[in-house]
């Protein structure tokens, strides 16, 4: 499998990059890490006459934490997101999600922005970002706009990005006191495998009771799928296994899975129920300060 | 630099390079093609395997997914730069000493990932190692050894590398062995850890051009017209050939069924069938040329299911030959003993259908062939990534009409085969043909997808098994009916259909046996020979059945196996002669080591333990085509100053360790240190015929040939020495580089001195050896030759699993395996084979299946969706060898590579049943199937309440 010829552009600024892409039209793509785009180009699923590299735009790389507000540059690699002390402090469940995807090599090369903009339904970082109330910062080189992560995805491999528009950063607002979040996914192989189904959960506890809960499903709908009905069920309730089980049943019902080589739609629904239960239970533990992330466990 | 090239500055292994590259060039291509750093391997080109891992500014990346322009201004470290000035890095030495490599194709990627890990964590834990290597696949299943080597790396920091075993023992007094039975480091290890080893696709010749093959996009059709005009006109294209331009002959594997053509002449029979080939100045141009070939097909109805294919109105896939009417490729009907009487007198009969999967060998190295015509243009050299250099030699000669004497086949390093490289490919033929036409060396490779389309993986078998037993578990009779989905061509399949039947009565005593095997053509890529050839699925069925019978009869699974276990010197009902057999010892030791009695039925819910058994031939008793010559042959030549010898043998090292084992056998028999044997790379001009690496034949057959050649050399040295020492040559002993009188060990001379003496007197000191299996093996019935062998291996494996009953996910926690492989020539490569077989078997049981989609197109012809085991799935493994001696084997040895796969599938299935009470009879045992079965079981229980 080989790449067809294309022209490669290395703009030095965002404005230049956007302008280039607009002028080049349909046959042009932005490229960052390229871990998803290049395989698609090689197998002919997509075509490109021009690739416009974003890698030279350094301002898209930074990860910053200001007053609890986390800003992750779109060019930050998934490994950087996974390892970032700022991410681990402000919204560790995002570091968790970024650390399970692909293998080490893919995480070193692939970017957070790519994981969003390629909009693959089974992408691992979007669901937890939706659960955390994140927003996506977009720029057309002249003006910025901010879109809730929940509104960014419009279909499989489709987003609200206008031609020439670039995702510059992900912003995660300060997480409420008493909150805990968790990302759980199911894969057929222990690593280096796509999610068959995944669930992101964030709960906010008020004493013993759940004040607010969000469930977002991955790989079981055309886009990351928030399940509002789960939030409705859980709000005001005291967490227990039975409650989580009912939330799982709702999530399974709301899922819109397809059948493919990784699993039937029916099986995916079953997984959603289980993963919802497990993610909720762990999110509550974390909200109480009892939960653990992989990197906190003894090596 | 042409107009569309970009200038990039990349520092590789400390040296800055300024290069003009096309934008669509990957970092992998720059390293391999422009800088000739071929230690970085091309495995899948899609970021799925990790073979191309390099460090980019210190971090591991897949160089196949990095554009060279993206690496502009970066520092790259490859395996060639790993050791820096110091020679080998401590990690590389740790890999050598721990045997943490087999075929070596994943090795450089593993090393680079490991290097990044130890920079961050100099004393890594097992967990960290698994995480760090999670993006690197190893099809040989070397993961347990990789973990050990990386944990232990620091120990080798300032150590000089030698070949001594890690657990160096003194000489084996009891068995009188100095080299054999010791775990000396692999012969090929230094080249493989340094990136020096050249695999076929790593080779470059002056003027070399590239060939590619156009394949059929439809599953069945008639070629009405091929227009190659536009392709020929493309600048850079040197030749285009179609079925009309190649010899009009049929070829294949078994002479009983030659049903393939080099390129389709009129009919295509599966998606991926080869139609035309081009040679061009580079691969890109060749691929562009393929797109310009215009083929007009008349599509025919196609059939993808063997049962559909057998129906009267099914499309006929080989109408050119009446023997294949009804799409029946092979029919086997055997009836031994009195089966009906046995079933009539049985206390209990159990019948079950089992279904297998279409697994693919998936060696990490793609197939590749390189051909160059030379001399007066009448001789051709073919470098081929093959397990069977001789059969390639013979088949290229026969099919293209070139005398064997004008063909030289060279087998470079091979990145795994597992049966997938055991036959001549269209790459071999087309490379030779295109090189002839163009007058240039032609390199041809399959892409990962093309490998899946060429296939030759495991047959999917539909197995109806019926076993009649007495109350005490004694087997009275077996009926087995198997339908094998053969795909569009025979490949090895006629032999597969026989093996699927012949190897059932070799493990347990089966006095009465009826077998019907039907291999059916379908419009799918052809199935072939895959590790354990035809037997793993029937063995999975039989081992599952043994547990089902044990449960029916209230017996322990070990008890029913012991009751029927094979004994030495036994003739099976299908006339196979078992010689050495320590099957019972493998049962005893596996049972004890696994703590079976404490665990069986006593593990907590969701955890289970299961046993499976198996065994295989130590080399097929007969060659693939009829011939009288010896199966293995060897030449040993003493170097003129006698400080070393060269071993000329054409056996195929494909990662299994045969070069190491054969070198050890030579050293042992000659009485010199292992380091003094120089193995000559497989080359049909330099080495005599060997049938190659299949049917687990190399250790026993090539080993015997080497031993005989060595004995002949030793005899010549003894004669020379005796004349000086004034003694009888028969009273001399050679050991560790010295020749001395057995009765007076102080009286003797150095081995080298004796060698020089022999050379001075009589010229070149050469010994030859050969091996042919015992005559007249097997019964006098059709197919009675398949399954014959000089010796058989036996093994027992116990597996522990955890089943997540909510998701169906199976974690294999532990394996205990004990094998009877005769004398173990090298414990390190021996255990490496067992561990690799367990990991591969785990993949076949739980993960792997090629899925056929619409119109016969494979849904998952890649390592992204066809999942093979990663380091995360690797269980704890204990591999042990029982005391055994095979009189027909060199120093008592027999096979290990294939037999150790056979117990695995059944052991896992039985452990899953023990864990959660569901028996899955259809491979692979996916989480979804388990969950469904659990639900059905719950519903059935609820319904009966």
Mean pLDDT across the stretch B232-241?
A: 98
pLDDT of B375 reads 85
Whether pLDDT at B821 is above 80: yes
Q: What percent of chain B has pLDDT over 90?
A: 97
Q: At A299, is the pLDDT very low, low, confident or very high (cuts 50, 70, 90)? A: low
Position A92 scores a pLDDT of 98
Residues 6+ apart with CB under 8 A from A16: A141
Tell me, yes or no, if B741 comes closer than 8 A to chain A by beta carbon.
no
Share of chain B above pLDDT 70, in %: 99
> Which residue from A4, A39, A188 is facing B24, i.e. has the nearest CB?
A4
The pLDDT, as a whole number, for residue B880 is 98
Contact between chains at B448 and A1 (C-beta distance less than 8 A): yes
Is there a contact between A8 and B121 if contact means CB atoms under 8 Å apart?
A: no
State whether residue B284 sits within 8 Å of chain A by CB: yes
Question: Of B354, B359, B447, B372, nearest to B409 (Cα)?
Answer: B372
Mutation target for A interface from B4, B60, B125: give the one with most A CBs within 10 A. B60
Chain A residues interacting with chain B (CB cutoff of 8 angstroms): 1-8, 10, 31, 34-35, 38-39, 42-43, 51, 53, 55, 79, 102-106, 108-109, 186, 188-194, 261-264, 267, 270-271, 274, 299
CB–CB of A104 and B116 under 8 A?
Answer: yes
Q: What is the pLDDT of residue B806?
A: 98
Which tens digits make up the pLDDT trace of A148-207? 999 999 999 999 999 999 999 999 999 999 999 999 999 999 989 999 999 999 999 999
Q: What is the mean pLDDT of residues B68-90?
A: 95
Report the candidate in B253, B240, B287 with the shortest Cα–Cα distance to residue B45: B287
Q: What is the pLDDT of residue B945?
A: 43
Most A CBs within 10 A among B7, B928, B930, B935, hence the mutation to make, goes to: B928
What is d(CA B444, CA B927) in angstroms, rounded to the nearest whole number? Answer: 39
B116 and A CB contact within 8 Å: yes
Q: What is the pLDDT of residue B175?
A: 84
Is A79's CB within 8 Å of B59's CB?
yes
Q: What is the rounded CA–CA span in Å between residue A22 and residue B556?
A: 73
Bond into B924 cis (ω within 30): yes
Do the Cβ atoms of A188 and B860 come within 8 Å? no
By CA distance, what is A37's nearest residue in B?
Answer: B65
Asked if B756 is an interface residue toward chain A (Cβ–Cβ < 8 A), one would say: no
Q: What is the pLDDT of residues B471-497, one digit of tens each?
A: 999 999 999 999 999 999 999 999 999
Of A43, A105, A271, the CB nearest to B61: A105
Ramachandran quadrant class, A157 (left: phi over 0; alpha: psi -120 to 50; beta: rest) = left
Closest chain A residue to B46, measured at CA: A39
Please check whether residue B187 is in contact with residue B238, taking contact to mean a CB–CB distance below 8 angstroms.
no
Residue B725 has a pLDDT of 96
Q: How far is A67 from chain B (nearest CA, A)?
A: 30
B66, B121, B134: residue with CB nearest A109: B66
Residue A298: pLDDT over 70: no
Q: How far is B606 from chain A (nearest CA, A)?
A: 16
Q: How far is A43 from chain B (nearest CA, A)?
A: 9
Q: Evaluate if residue B629 carries a pLDDT over 80.
A: yes
Given CB atoms, is B121 within the 8 Å cutoff of chain A?
yes
Instruction: Read off the pLDDT band of B2 (50, 70, 90).
Output: low
Mean pLDDT value across residues B371-394: 96
Per-residue pLDDT, averaged over B435-441, amounts to: 98
- Residue B174 has a pLDDT of 82
- Summarize pLDDT for A15-67 with one digit per residue, the tens: 999 999 999 988 899 999 999 999 999 999 999 999 999 999 988 999 999 99
Interchain pair B47, A39: CB under 8 A: yes
DSSP B315: P
Contacts of A137 (CB under 8 A, 6+ apart): A144, A145, A146, A167, A168, A169, A170, A171
B160-176 average pLDDT score: 85
Phi and psi, residue A94, nearest 5°: -70, -40
Which of B108, B215, B288, B807 to mutate to probe the A interface, most A CBs <10 Å?
Answer: B807
Q: Between chains, do A189 and B873 touch, taking CB under 8 Å as contact? A: yes
Given a cut of 70, is residue B368 above it in pLDDT? yes
Give the residue from chain A lying closest to B48, CA to CA.
A192
B870 min Cα distance to partner chain A (Å): 7
pLDDT value for A26: 82
At which residue do the structure tokens 């696994």 appear?
Answer: B594
- Residues B134, B872: contact at Cβ < 8 Å? yes
Nearest CB to A104: which of B113, B869, B926? B113
* Mean pLDDT over each residue of chain B, to the nearest integer: 97
Query: Is the pLDDT score of B436 beyond 60?
Result: yes
Strands (E), B711-763: 732-735, 738-741, 744-750
Question: What is the reported pLDDT for B745?
Answer: 96
Considering CB atoms only, which of A104, A262, A274 is closest to B134?
A104
Of B66, B125, B135, the CB nearest to A192: B135
What is residue B3's predicted lDDT score, i.e. its pLDDT? 55
Provide mean pLDDT across the span B902-917: 98
Q: What number of C-beta contacts closer than 8 Å exist between A and B?
A: 134
Q: Give SS3 for B154.
A: helix
For chain A, give the secondary structure using H, E and C: CCCCCCEEECCCCHHHHHHHHHHHHHHEEEECCCCCHHHHHHCCCCCCCEEEECCCCHHHCCEEEECCEEEEECCCEHHHHHHCHHHHHHCHHHHHHHHHCCCHHHHHHCEHHHHHHCCCCCCCHHHHHHHCCCEEEEECCCCEEEEEHHHHEEECCEECCCCCCEEEEEEECCCCCCEEEEEEEECCCCCCCCCCEEEEEEEEEECCEEEEEEEEEECCCCCCEECHHHHHHHCCCCCCHHHHHHHHHHHHHHCCCCCECCECHHHHHHHHHHHHHHHHHHHHHHHCCCCCCHHHCCC
The string of DSSP letters for B758-812 reads HHHHHS--EEEEEE-PPTT-S-SSTTTTTT--S-B-EEEEEEEEEE-TTT--EEE
Instruction: Give the pLDDT of residue B1.
Output: 46
Residue of A nearest to B808 (CA): A271
More confident residue, B878 or B945: B878
Give B565→chain A minimum CA distance, Å: 36
* Averaged pLDDT for residues B852-879: 97
- Which residue, among B5, B20, B135, would best test binding to A if mutated, counting the most A CBs under 10 Å from its CB? B135
Stretch B276-292: mean pLDDT: 97
């Amino acid at each position: 499998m080989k790449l067809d010829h294309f022209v490669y552009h290395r703009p030095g600024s965002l404005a230049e990059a956007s302008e280039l892409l607009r002028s080049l039209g349909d046959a042009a793509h932005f490229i960052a890490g390229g871990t998803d785009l290049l395989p698609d180009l090689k197998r002919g699923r997509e075509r490109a006459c021009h690739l416009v590299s974003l890698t030279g735009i350094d301002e898209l790389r930074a990860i910053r934490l200001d007053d609890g507000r986390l800003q992750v540059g779109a060019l930050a690699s998934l490994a950087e997101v996974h390892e970032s002390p700022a991410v681990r402090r402000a919204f560790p469940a995002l570091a968790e999600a970024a650390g399970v995807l692909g293998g080490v090599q893919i995480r070193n090369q692939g970017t957070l922005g790519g994981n969003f903009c390629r909009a693959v339904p089974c992408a691992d970082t979007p669901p937890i970002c939706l659960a955390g109330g994140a927003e996506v910062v977009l720029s057309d080189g002249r003006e910025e706009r901010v879109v809730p992560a929940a509104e960014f995805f419009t279909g499989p491999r489709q987003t609200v990005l206008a031609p020439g528009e670039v995702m510059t950063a992900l912003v995660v607002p300060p997480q409420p006191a008493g909150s805990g979040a968790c990302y759980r996914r199911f894969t057929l192989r222990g690593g280096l495998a796509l999610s068959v189904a995944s669930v992101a959960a964030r709960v906010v506890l008020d004493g013993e009771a759940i004040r607010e809960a969000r469930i977002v499903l991955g790989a079981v709908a055309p886009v990351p799928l928030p399940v509002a009905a789960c939030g409705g069920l859980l709000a005001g309730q005291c967490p227990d296994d039975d409650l989580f089980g009912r939330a799982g049943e709702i999530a399974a019902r709301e899922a819109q899975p397809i059948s493919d080589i990784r699993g039937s739609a029916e099986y995916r629904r079953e997984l959603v129920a289980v993963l919802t239960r497990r993610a909720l239970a762990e999110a509550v533990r974390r909200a109480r300060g009892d939960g653990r992330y992989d990197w906190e466990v003894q090596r | 630099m042409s107009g569309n090239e970009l200038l990039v500055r990349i520092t590789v292994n400390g040296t800055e390079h300024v290069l003009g590259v096309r934008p669509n060039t990957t970092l992998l291509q720059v390293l391999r093609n422009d800088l000739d750093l071929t230690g970085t391997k091309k495995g899948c080109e899609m970021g799925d395997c990790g073979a191309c891992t390099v460090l980019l500014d210190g971090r591991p990346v897949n160089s196949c997914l990095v554009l060279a322009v993206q690496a502009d201004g970066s520092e790259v470290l490859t395996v060639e730069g790993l050791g820096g000035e110091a020679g080998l890095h401590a990690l590389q030495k740790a890999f050598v000493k721990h045997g943490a490599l087999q075929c070596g194709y994943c090795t450089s990627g593993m090393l680079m990932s490991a290097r990044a890990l130890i920079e961050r964590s100099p004393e890594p834990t097992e967990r960290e190692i698994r995480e760090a290597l999670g993006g690197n696949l190893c099809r040989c299943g070397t993961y347990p050894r990789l973990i050990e080597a990386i944990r232990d790396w620091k120990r080798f920091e300032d150590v000089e590398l030698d070949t001594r075993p890690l657990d160096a023992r003194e000489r084996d007094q009891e068995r009188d062995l100095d080299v054999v039975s010791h775990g000396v480091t692999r012969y090929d290890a230094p080249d493989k850890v340094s990136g020096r080893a050249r695999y076929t696709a790593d080779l470059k010749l002056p003027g070399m051009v590239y060939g590619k093959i156009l394949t059929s996009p439809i599953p069945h059709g008639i070629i009405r017209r091929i227009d190659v005009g536009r392709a020929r006109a493309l600048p850079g294209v040197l030749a285009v050939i179609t079925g009309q331009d190649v010899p009009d002959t049929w070829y294949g594997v078994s002479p009983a069924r030659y049903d393939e053509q080099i390129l389709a002449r009129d009919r295509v029979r599966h998606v991926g069938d080869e139609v035309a080939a081009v040679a061009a100045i580079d691969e890109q141009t060749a691929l562009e040329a393929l797109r310009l070939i215009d083929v007009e097909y008349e599509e025919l109805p196609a059939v993808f299911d063997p049962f559909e294919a057998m129906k009267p109105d099914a499309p006929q896939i080989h109408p050119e030959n009446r023997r294949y009417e009804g799409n029946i490729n092979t029919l086997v009907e055997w009836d031994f003993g009195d089966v009906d009487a046995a079933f009539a007198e049985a206390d209990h009969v159990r019948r079950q259908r089992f279904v297998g999967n279409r697994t693919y060998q998936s060696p990490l190295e793609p197939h590749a062939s390189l051909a160059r015509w030379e001399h007066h243009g009448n001789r051709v050299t073919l470098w081929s990534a093959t397990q069977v250099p001789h059969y390639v030699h013979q088949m290229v000669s026969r099919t293209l009409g070139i005398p064997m004497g004008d063909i030289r086949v060279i087998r470079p390093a091979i990145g795994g085969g597992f049966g997938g490289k055991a036959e001549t490919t269209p790459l071999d033929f087309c490379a030779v043909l295109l090189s002839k036409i163009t007058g240039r060396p032609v390199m041809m490779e399959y892409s990962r997808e093309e490998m899946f389309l060429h296939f030759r993986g495991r047959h999917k078998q539909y197995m109806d098994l019926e076993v009649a037993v007495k109350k005490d578990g004694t087997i009275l009779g077996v009926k087995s009916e198997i339908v094998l989905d053969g795909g569009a061509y025979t490949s090895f399949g006629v032999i597969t259909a026989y093996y699927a039947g012949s190897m059932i009565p070799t493990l347990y005593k089966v006095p009465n046996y009826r077998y019907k095997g039907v291999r059916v053509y379908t419009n799918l890529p052809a199935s072939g020979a895959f590790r354990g050839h035809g037997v793993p699925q029937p063995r999975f069925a039989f081992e599952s059945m043994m547990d089902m019978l044990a449960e029916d009869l209230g017996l322990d699974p070990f008890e029913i196996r012991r009751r029927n276990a094979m004994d030495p010197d036994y003739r099976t009902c299908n006339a196979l002669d078992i010689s050495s057999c320590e099957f019972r010892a493998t049962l005893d030791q596996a049972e004890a080591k696994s703590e079976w009695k404490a665990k069986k039925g006593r593990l907590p819910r969701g955890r289970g333990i299961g046993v499976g058994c198996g065994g295989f031939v130590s080399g097929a008793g007969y060659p693939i085509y009829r011939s009288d010559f010896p199966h293995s042959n060897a030449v040993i030549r003493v170097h003129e100053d006698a400080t070393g010898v060269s071993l000329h043998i054409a056996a195929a090292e494909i990662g299994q360790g045969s070069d190491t084992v054969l070198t050890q056998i030579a050293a042992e028999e000659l009485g010199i240190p292992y380091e003094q044997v120089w193995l000559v790379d497989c080359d049909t001009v330099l080495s005599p015929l060997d049938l190659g690496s299949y049917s687990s034949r190399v250790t026993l057959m090539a080993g015997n040939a080497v031993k005989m050649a060595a004995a002949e050399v030793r005899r010549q040295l003894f004669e020379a020495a005796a004349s000086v020492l004034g003694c009888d040559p028969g009273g001399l002993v050679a050991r560790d580089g010295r020749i001395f009188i057995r009765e007076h060990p102080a009286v003797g001379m150095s081995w080298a001195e004796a060698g020089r003496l022999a050379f001075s007197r009589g010229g070149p000191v050469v010994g030859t050896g050969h091996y042919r299996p015992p005559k007249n093996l097997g019964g006098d019935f059709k197919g009675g030759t398949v399954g014959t062998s000089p010796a058989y291996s036996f093994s027992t494996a116990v597996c522990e699993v955890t089943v997540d009953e909510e998701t169906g996910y199976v974690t294999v926690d532990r394996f205990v395996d004990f094998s009877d492989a005769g004398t173990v020539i090298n414990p390190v490569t021996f255990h490496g084979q067992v561990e690799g077989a367990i990991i591969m078997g785990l993949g076949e049981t739980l993960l792997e299946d090629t899925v056929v989609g619409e119109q016969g197109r494979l849904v998952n012809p890649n390592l992204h969706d066809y999942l093979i085991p990663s380091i995360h799935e690797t269980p704890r493994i204990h591999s042990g060898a029982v005391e055994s001696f095979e009189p027909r084997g060199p120093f008592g040895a027999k096979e290990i590579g294939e037999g150790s796969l056979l117990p695995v599938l059944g052991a896992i299935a039985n452990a899953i049943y023990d864990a959660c009470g569901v028996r899955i009879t259809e491979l692979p045992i996916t989480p979804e199937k388990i969950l469904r079965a659990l639900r059905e079981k719950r519903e059935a229980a609820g319904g009966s309440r």
